[in-house]
Structure 1
Amino acid sequence: MSRTFRRLLALSIMFMTACTPVPQANMAPTLPTRTMGLQDALPPMNRFAGSHVATPTRSNREIGKDFMDLAFRMESGRVVSRLTRFEAPISVRVTGDIPASLTPDLRALLARLRSEAGIDIFMTGSETASITVEAIPRSVLNAAVPRAACFVVPRVSSWDEFKTARRTPTVDWTTLERRDRAAVFVPSDVAPQEIRDCLHEELAQALGPLNDLYRLSDSVFNDDNIHAVLTSFDMLILRAYYDPALQNGMTRGQVAARLGPVLARHNPAGEGRAARPQNDTTRDWIDNIEIALTAGSSATRRRNAALQAVSMAGALNWAGPRDGFAHYAFGRLNVGHDSDIALASFNQALTIYNRSPETRLHAAHVAVQLAAFALSSGDGARVLDLVNGAMPVAAAHENAALLATLMMFKAEALEMTGQTAAATAVRMDSLGWARYGFGADRNVRARLREIASLNPLKGT
């Protein structure tokens, strides 16, 4: 399993600034162009506490289907014939070029796994640890596995072991009878948030399900990568995965026969809820999304693939995360090509995401795109309306990059509406989160410049 660079969450300069219309000539006089943070020393980095990330409770019948599809299939579509897991207690060690943020974030994650998923897991310095987290330079990681931001493999405990065993049955998850060793490889030289996100996704898959499902709105087990940290749904899945009623080597049928009482015990609120109709995500839709989000194809082919995904989602009546994500992807690919189509696609994605509390975080990401349009057109009030609703959601889901970006937009909108002192305070507050979300100071300053350049009162 790997966390790929296909993430639409990381806003590129091209995607953000190319969407903006030309400022009107009759705008108010240009404001000073100096922006707090571009020359000043940045404040200390902020970080989240690693607290419970709650998502709405769904029907246990619905969650049961999700569990089975996550546990007994790989992302590629290959069948996993038996359930495999570690036997407790589970030890985790850290090696390699360890950045300062990694160990505190890992400790916070393990604490959540113990308290929310009920898994007996702890850190150790022993070379015989169940799971090894190794931090290596991104260039080294990508040279071996292109397009992977991070990944997890079974039966190895080091990068050298992996290089020897790669492309052999040793690292094939479907050949496991049980899990004894696994290695999580994360980049050592990227933003703290990216490292933390890798820890959450890859450690969860080292422990439990190996699949991702695009239909999930409340989980890191989704290739849209909207969720950055493990949610209450994910913790429920892991708690069920390690319930004593389930055992290593169980077949799909054996797990299905025992799963109902397991979920009833761990999620009693889900017993009385009606299950919504669910249909599987078609391979054609996934292929189109893959083309749309993967660099290498022509811009025209990527836009056509995204449009095809939009059409297929509509034809299949997917009124949820898949439909919204297809519109979101289509909008992103039309930024700089056709601003009217991009804006219409973002508005449609927001409409879809706003229909359910399960997709509040998805809507917050779309709000960034719409804020870029509003700011560039001089509509400060609209920017404030968008970001004020999205900021609490970003904070609740511990997404510092998203939170900092929204705060930077808010600062520009406050300045645009004459609230200079408030703008300065919000901008300064954004920088601590930006240091966690974007990493190096040059990345933080680049984001400040990028967003400030959208303000027509500041010029270019």
Structure 2
Amino acid sequence: MQIFSTVTPTKSTPRNRIGMRLAHTLSLVSVLGLAACSTVPLEDTPTRAQTTEFSVQPMKSFGSPQPQPAQRSNGNIAADFLSLHFQLESGRELPVFTRFETPITVRVTGSPPPSLQPDLTRLLGRMRNEAGIDIRQITAGAANITIEAVSREEIGRALPQAACFVVPNVSSLSEFRRDRRKDKTNWGSLRNRERLGVFVPYDSSPQELRDCLHEELAQAIGPLNDLYRLPDSVFNDDNIHTVLTGFDMLVLKATYAPELRSGMTRAEVAAVLPDILGRLNPRGVTYAPQPVTATPREWIEAVQTALGPGTAYQTRLESANRSAHLAQAWGWTDHRRAFGHYMMGRMLQSGDPQLAQRHFLTAMQYLQSTPGTELHRAYVTTQTAAHAITLGDAASALAQIRPMLPVAQRSENAALLSTLMMLEAEALELLGDAEKARAVRLDSVGWARYGFGSDWAVRAKMQEIAALNPRNRLGG
């Protein structure tokens, strides 16, 4: 991003590792596979979106951040910190620790849309207040980090399949194109961070743009690796978390601890980490360390194939199945075990909805026994609650949806929140409470504008979910 996200795992070039966010084949909050089971074309599906109320619903934004503190031992966090800072996603080891050694300046160039500035201001404020990083925005002159807002087409020409990315020692996309084969853009050759370029799409939804800002700016100043084993972090190729979490802020705060400096070896950093984390995260001393299980390349490659665009359906299905079997063989019981079942469910739901639901329920069983996976469960709920609606089981759908609404709110995921609310509205319609359904549906529009962007995208999402309702499919 993202276990159930809208982005795929990052891939690396042999020479230069370029941090980037990619578009997933499987959409997180899409229920189109279920809707496609109906016999009513989407353009004929009754929808209440085409009203005067729809047109006047403003885009909503989130209030004060509500990050949850890291909830594991400092010993485990130290191991995560070292893996995040001393390894690239390809598995290549990094020889030394790097960070900015001066106050960090950020400048925006290109064609930023209106939503970028408030989201960037909020992000920089969090980095200062929660991570204690000396970072500020400037409006002119050379900056340590240049965020260039360009089109998705330009990003695609520079790095096919990328949604956004960060590169060392450049300040513009044109400079990256010119120097992409040079050693200056190779993260493995970096010994100190002084100048980086972050490239984000101005023509994506506000949420996707914000997600890019969080992930790429965090990697510009902090860890370069992503770890599938992390359930509570944006530093994870599943990208379920789209804004920086409490764990992420702790990692960034430790990255800029005075005991550390660029050029330190892994052993040197490891030696001082216990004292750093003990000072910054005293609660972490109270948690018992848990065994850490690495994520083998074999599993990662199966996931990448399953989610990779341009791959034949049968190949993707076999790869998803392989990831599930590997997780079973290795005895995993965490969110990674759930991942394969989720992918299988998403791929099968159009052709075999009953089998898909069994995979979703299996994924939910593993998530329920894994701490810190509430947001993962909310994503699965969009699939299981949608299925309940297709069966006319409104009570079951509401029982699943309502506990997940505050989870989506706390996680600042407007796409997920609006999807859950639209599903809730359809369940209320099934119960005959048209007035409340209308109120919930209209309330979802403001979040959908942020999560999905344009009016046509919001209307399409509403039509997609309305098509689940058996009353609509029957013309009732």
TM-score computed with the length of structure 2 as normaliser: 0.92
1:37 aligns with 2:49: yes
Note if contact 1:52-1:112 (Cα within 8 Å) is conserved in structure 2: no
In structure 2, the CA distance between the partners of 1:373 and 1:406, relative to structure 1 (3 Å rule), is same
Structure 2 counterpart of 1:371, one-letter code: A
Residue aligning to 2:33: 15
Which stretches in structure 2 are left out of the alignment for 5+ residues? 1-18
Note if contact 1:55-1:358 (Cα within 8 Å) is conserved in structure 2: no
1:117 aligns with 2:131: yes
1:414 aligns with 2:428: yes
Q: Kindly report which structure 2 residues correspond to 1:44-443, keeping only aligned pairs within 5 A, or say none.
A: 44-49=58-63, 51-443=65-457
In structure 2, the CA distance between the partners of 1:306 and 1:55, relative to structure 1 (3 Å rule), is farther
Note if contact 2:167-2:198 (Cα within 8 Å) is conserved in structure 1: yes
Note if contact 1:68-1:256 (Cα within 8 Å) is conserved in structure 2: yes
In structure 2, the CA distance between the partners of 1:453 and 1:42, relative to structure 1 (3 Å rule), is farther
Q: CA RMSD in A?
A: 1.6
Note if contact 1:42-1:432 (Cα within 8 Å) is conserved in structure 2: no
Q: Hey, what's the Cα distance between the residues in 2 that align with 1:239 and 1:267?
A: 10
Deviations 1:141-181 (Å, cap 9, x if unpaired)?
Answer: 11111111100000011111111111221111111110000
In the TM superposition, what is the alpha-carbon distance from 1:17 to its structure 2 partner? 2.1
Structure 2 counterpart of 1:431, one-letter code: V
Residue aligning to 2:12: none
In the TM superposition, what is the alpha-carbon distance from 1:56 to its structure 2 partner? 4.3
Partner SS, residue 271 of structure 1: helix
Structure 2 counterpart of 1:239, one-letter code: K
Residue range with higher mean Cα deviation, 228-237 or 334-343: 334-343
Q: Kindly report which structure 2 residues correspond to 1:438-449, keeping only aligned pairs within 5 A, or say none.
A: 438-449=452-463
Note if contact 2:401-2:420 (Cα within 8 Å) is conserved in structure 1: yes
In the TM superposition, what is the alpha-carbon distance from 1:8 to its structure 2 partner? 4.2
Residue range with higher mean Cα deviation, 188-197 or 50-59: 50-59
Residue range with higher mean Cα deviation, 320-329 or 174-183: 320-329
Note if contact 2:375-2:407 (Cα within 8 Å) is conserved in structure 1: yes
Q: Hey, what's the Cα distance between the residues in 2 that align with 1:50 and 1:298?
A: 43
Structure 2 counterpart of 1:17, one-letter code: A
| Count of residues in Structure 1 that have an aligned counterpart in Structure 2 | 451
Q: Hey, what's the Cα distance between the residues in 2 that align with 1:389 and 1:15?
A: 24
Q: Which of residues 3, 17, 20 in structure 2 aligns to 1:2? A: 20
Q: Hey, what's the Cα distance between the residues in 1 that align with 2:108 and 2:433?
A: 47
In the TM superposition, what is the alpha-carbon distance from 1:252 to its structure 2 partner? 0.6
Moved runs in structure 1, 4+ residues, more than 4 A?
Answer: 20-23
Structure 2 counterpart of 1:342, one-letter code: A
Which stretches in structure 1 are left out of the alignment for 5+ residues? 24-31
Partner SS, residue 346 of structure 2: helix
Q: Hey, what's the Cα distance between the residues in 2 that align with 1:55 and 1:335?
A: 36
Structure 2 counterpart of 1:37, one-letter code: A
Note if contact 2:148-2:197 (Cα within 8 Å) is conserved in structure 1: yes
Note if contact 2:31-2:383 (Cα within 8 Å) is conserved in structure 1: no
TM-score computed with the length of structure 1 as normaliser: 0.95
Structure 2 counterpart of 1:398, one-letter code: E
Q: Hey, what's the Cα distance between the residues in 2 that align with 1:185 and 1:451?
A: 33
Structure 1 counterpart of 2:111, one-letter code: D
In the TM superposition, what is the alpha-carbon distance from 1:42 to its structure 2 partner? 4.3
Partner SS, residue 60 of structure 2: coil
